[in-house]
Amino acid sequence: MTAPSELRVSKDRKLLTVTFPAHAPMELPAEMLRVLSPSAEVQGHSPEQRVTVPGKRNVTIRKIDPIGNYAVRITFDDFHDTGIFTWDYLHTLGHEKNQRWQDYLAELQEKGLSRDR
């Protein structure tokens, strides 16, 4: 996957717009990026270890730092910053956004958790 031609954080810091060459811009909410972070803290080291992260409805993006030519590190206002978002992962999130979000909401409900703190 080639690098995005643009990464833009909204003024309210709650939305990341990712544009890949020859693709329409994809809007990824900060909450979704946080709860689906590719970090070991969230994903674990196996599918059984994956954590459902509640209470991030109002999370915002503090900053984005490039990692080589293949990814960015997103720092959120809750100071989570260990996820390395590769171009492939951002592309996948953009294309699977609705399904992944519905899966997350179902997990919250199943576990009795909330998007609010």
Kindly tell me if the per-residue pLDDT of 91 is higher than 80.
yes
Higher model confidence: residue 80 or residue 44? 80
What is the torsion angle, in degrees rounded to the nearest 10, for the CA atoms of residue 69, residue 75, residue 80 and residue 81? 30
Strands 61-67 and 26-29: unpaired
Is 40's pLDDT higher than 90? no
Q: What is the dihedral of CA 109, 110, 111, 114, to 10 degrees?
A: 0
> Per-residue pLDDT for 88 more than 90?
yes
Q: pLDDT band at residue 94, thresholds of 50, 70 and 90?
A: very high
According to CATH, what is the number of the domain 6-111?
3.30.2020.30
Q: What is the DSSP string of 50-92?
A: -----S-TT--EEEEEEETTTEEEEEETT-----EEEHHHHHH
Residue 117 has pLDDT above 80, yes or no: no
Q: Whole-number mean pLDDT of the chain? A: 95
Looking at the predicted structure, is the pLDDT value of residue 70 above 90? yes
pLDDT reported for residue 115: 97
